[in-house]
Structure 1
Amino acid sequence: MPSSVSAGPPSVSAGPRIRPGKRDGGSFQIACGVLIALSGALTAFAFNAIYAEGWIDLEVYREGGAAVLRRTSVYDLVVGENWLKFTYSPFAAILFMPLALVGMEIAVALWVLISILALEAVIWILIGRTAVRCRSRRATRTLLVVIATLPLYPVTLTLWNGQIGIILLLVIIVDLTHGKEKWRGIGTGIAAGIKLTPLIFIPYLLITRRFRAALMTGLGFLGTVVLGFLLLPADSRDYWGGAFFDTQRVVTEQGVNFFNQSLRGVLMIMSDSWPTTPLWFALCAVVGTGGLLVAAWTAKKAGEIAGITACAIVGLLVSPVSWPHHWVWCIPLLVLWAQRAQRVDVRLEKVGVGFLWFIFLLPGYIALATVLIYPSHAGMWLMLLTGSYVLSGLSTLLALAVYFSRSDWRQRKRGSGDD
C-alpha cells in the first residue's frame, strides 16, 4: 500500500457537522439496507433447503450447541464430510445452544440476516465516526459501502461458511468506541472468550495507557472461562488443558495451509522440509511488538478506530491460523482509507484504495476456482492468495509507521524553524 506512505493513513477526524433538516431521516436508505439483509437471509434459506451446501462453520456451531444439550463431549465432535472439529471455547458452545433448537435452514437464514445487519451497523458506525453526520447522507453512503463490501472475498466467505467474524467485529468496535468508559473492554473480553484472537487488544490497550479498559477486557475474558468451568467442567479441562493451542484441530489437511493468511501460513507454504517454528516465533516477536507500537501510534494520531484496525491486523499476522474470512477487518481499513482519500483528494490515494479493494476481491475467488477446477495448477494462485493478504497487512503497518515518522519530523522541523 505504498500510496498511503506519501499522503498518510486513514484518519477518523470528523468533517463539519451538517445540521439535519426535515428530510434528513434516511428512512428509505435504511429500509433498503434491511431489505438487503432480508434478501440475503431468504436466499440463504432457499439455497440451503434445496442444495444443503455451504455454511459448514455454522453446522459446527450447531453441533457444538447440540452436544451441550445432549451433555456429550464438545471436543469429541466430528462434523461433516471434512471431519471438522469444534475449535471454539466451552463458553462459545454454550452460546451456540439456541442454534441447535432450530432446523438448519432456519439457522442459516437467521445467521445470514444477523451477519448482514452487523455488517451494515459496522459501516454505519465507520461512516458516522469519520466524516458524515447528516443522517440521510450517512445512510446513503452506508448503503453504497455495503454493496461494495459484500462481494469482497473475506465477507462472502464469512456469509457462505456461516462464520461469526462480522458479529465479533461489530462487538469490538462498539465496545471500544461507543460504550461507557467504565465498562469499555468487557465486550472485547467476551469476544475473546468466544474466539481467542481478540486477546491481542489487551497489550494494545496497555500500550495506549487505557489500563481500565485492558483490565475490563481481561475480566470479561476470565468471566467466560469461569462460566465454562461451572457449566462444562470436563470440556473446559480438555480445552484449556491444551486443545485451544492444537492447530491440528483447525488445519485438518496439509493442503489447506495455502489458505492460511498469516505469517505462519506463508512460512509453511515456502518450505515443508525445514523447521519454520523458530523463524515464526522470531517474526511474531518483531511484527507483534512493532505492529502494536504502530497501532498505538495510529490511535494517537488518527483516532481510536484506526488504532483498533491496525491492532487487529497485527493479530491476524501473528496468529497461528488466519483464514481468509478472518480478514473482515479489511472493511474498516478500506472505509477509513477511502474517507481519507476523498478528503485529501489525492489521486494516488484513491488508486491505492481501489487496488486494496481489488486485493480483497479477486485473488481469493481465482484461487478457489483454481482449486476446484484445476487442482494440479493451484500452487501459483494459492501462493498469490496467501501472500496478498499478508503483504497487504505488513504494507499497511509499514505505511502508517513511515507516514507518522515523516509527519513528526516535519513538525519538529517547523518547530525548530520558528525558534
Structure 2
Amino acid sequence: MLIALGGALAAFAFNVTHAAGWVDLEVYREGGAAVLQGASLYDLSVGRYWLQFTYSPFAAMLFTPLALVDMEIAVALWVLVSILALEAVIWILVGRVSVRNRGRRATHTLFIVIAALPLYPIVITLWNGQIGIILLLATVVDLTYGKEKWRGVITGIAAGIKLTPLIFIPYLLVTRRFRAALMVGLGFLGTVALGFLLLPADSRDYWGGTFFDTQRVVTAPETVFFNQSIRGMLLLMPGSWPTTPLWLALCAVVGAGGILVAARTAKKAGELAGITVCAIVGLLVSPVSWPHHWVWCVPLLVLWAYRARRVDTTLEKVGVGFLWFVFLLPGYITLATLLMYPSRAGTWLTLLMGSYVFSGLSTLLVLAVRFGRSDRRRRKSGSGDDYAAFDGQGRMA
C-alpha cells in the first residue's frame, strides 16, 4: 500500500511539472469525454502524437469518470490503482504457492513487488497509463477465485474492454469447463450489446471493422520495434515477402499447440500456471502485442521462481534470473536507441526486443518437451509425475 501511495504521489508531482507520459491515459480521458459530449469516438486525435481511440464503445463508457477530473488527479488515481492491482496479483500468487503465514506472505509480496516494478512491461504500463495490470488482476481473480456459477463473466467483460482475454474461451473449452467458457462469451456479448444500446453509431463503426484496423494502433514507423507478437517479428524481418500467410500458419500452430500446453499446465501445475501460459499464447498470436501487454511476465516469473526454489536446481534458478533480465533490459535499450540513435536501429534491435517473443515460444516448447518426457517416464515406471511441483489448486505440493 505504501509503494502504491508513493507511486501515485510521484506520478502526480511529475505530471504537474512535465508535459510527458501517460499518453494512453489521456486517450482514455478523451474517449470518456467524447461519450459525455456525444462526439464520435473514432474521429478522435489526441495529444502530440495524434493518437486515436482504439478501444470498444463499452470501454469508452467506463472511462467517463476520468473525464470528470483533472489530468493530474487522473494520473495519481490511475497509478495508485495500477500498483495496488499489481500488489494484489502478487499477493494471490504468493498465497497460491503455499506461503500461508500472513506475515511471511506480506514480506514475500513486498520483495516481489520491488523486483517487479522496474520490469519494462510494468514501467511502460504505469508511464503510459495503460489498463493492462488492472485487466490482469480481473482475469486472475475471476478464473481462480470466482464462484463456479459466475466464473468467466469478469473475463468476458475484460474482453469487452480489450479483446485479448477472448483467448481464454478455447482454453476453458479444452479444459472442459464449458460453463465458464460460455460465461466469458456471454460477458463479452453483454458489453457489445450495451455498446449498441447506448452508443449505436460508434458501435457500428467499431464492430464494422475499426477494431481490426491495426494502422490505428501502429501510428509511427519506429513503434513496429515494440510489437512483440509473432506478426510483429515477421514484419521486421529483412526482405520483401508476403508475411500474412506465414503469420496465419504460425498462429494456427502456436495457437492450437499453445492452448493444449496451457491446458496440460493447468492440470499439472495449477490454474494460475495454466491461465498464465494461455495468456502468453494470446500475446504471441495477437496482431499487435505491445510491451505493456506483457505484464503477464509477472505471474510467469513468480510461479517459475517458486518452482525453482522448490526443486532447488541451479539451471532453473539461472533461468528465472535470465528471464527477469529479458523483461528488464531490452525494452529500455530499444527505447534509448530509438530516441538517441535512430539511425542505428536495425536487425540487432529486432532480435533484442524480440526476446519477449522468443521467451514466450521457449516457454511453450520447454513445457511441451517436459510434459512429453514426464508421460514417457510415467508409462515406463507406472509412477506419478515428478513435474508436479504444485497441486491442483496451484499450491506447492
Counterpart-to-counterpart distance in 1, 2:142 and 2:290: 24
2:392 is aligned to none
Report the 3-state secondary structure (helix = DSSP H, G, I; strand = E; otherwise coil) of the residue aligned with 1:84.
coil
1:195 is aligned to 162
Counterparts of residues 315-330 of structure 1 (less than 5 Å): 315-330=282-297
Cα offset, 1:271, TM superposition: 3.6
1:109 and 2:53 aligned: no
Cα offset, 1:221, TM superposition: 0.3
Cα offset, 1:381, TM superposition: 4.9
Report the 3-state secondary structure (helix = DSSP H, G, I; strand = E; otherwise coil) of the residue aligned with 2:130.
coil
1:236 is aligned to 203
Counterparts of residues 71-220 of structure 1 (less than 5 Å): 71-220=38-187
Counterpart-to-counterpart distance in 2, 1:251 and 1:382: 18
Q: Is the 8 A contact 1:64 1:86 kept in 2?
A: yes
1:65 to 11, 32, 41: 32
1:224 and 2:201 aligned: no
1:408 to 371, 375, 387: 375
CA-to-aligned-CA distance 1:68-87 (integer Å, 9 cap, x gap)? 00000001000111111000
1:36 and 2:3 aligned: yes
1:358 and 2:325 aligned: yes
CA RMSD of aligned residues (A): 0.9
1:387 to 339, 354, 374: 354
Q: Is the 8 A contact 2:334 2:353 kept in 1?
A: no
Q: Is the 8 A contact 1:171 1:187 kept in 2?
A: yes
1:378 is aligned to 345
Report the 3-state secondary structure (helix = DSSP H, G, I; strand = E; otherwise coil) of the residue aligned with 1:181.
coil
2:309 to 305, 328, 342: 342
1:332 and 2:264 aligned: no
Letter in 2 for 1:88: Y
Unpaired stretches in structure 2, ≥5 consecutive residues: 384-397
Counterpart-to-counterpart distance in 1, 2:244 and 2:37: 39
Cα offset, 1:412, TM superposition: 0.7
Q: Is the 8 A contact 2:31 2:41 kept in 1?
A: yes
1:19 is aligned to none
2:225 is aligned to 258
Counterpart-to-counterpart distance in 2, 1:74 and 1:246: 15
Q: Is the 8 A contact 1:84 1:252 kept in 2?
A: yes
Cα offset, 1:252, TM superposition: 1.4
CA-to-aligned-CA distance 1:332-387 (integer Å, 9 cap, x gap)? 00000000001111111100000000000001101111111111112245313332
Q: TM-score normalised to the size of structure 1?
A: 0.90
Q: TM-score normalised to the size of structure 2?
A: 0.95
Cα offset, 1:141, TM superposition: 0.2
Counterpart-to-counterpart distance in 2, 1:378 and 1:325: 21
Q: Is the 8 A contact 1:363 1:384 kept in 2?
A: no
Counterpart-to-counterpart distance in 2, 1:186 and 1:318: 23
Counterpart-to-counterpart distance in 1, 2:232 and 2:51: 19
Taking only the aligned residue pairs, the percentage that are identical comes to: 79
1:245 and 2:212 aligned: yes
Counterpart-to-counterpart distance in 1, 2:132 and 2:109: 19
Counterpart-to-counterpart distance in 2, 1:391 and 1:384: 9
Number of equivalent positions: 383
Q: Is the 8 A contact 2:222 2:338 kept in 1?
A: no
Counterpart-to-counterpart distance in 1, 2:259 and 2:359: 16
Cα offset, 1:272, TM superposition: 5.7
Cα offset, 1:287, TM superposition: 0.5
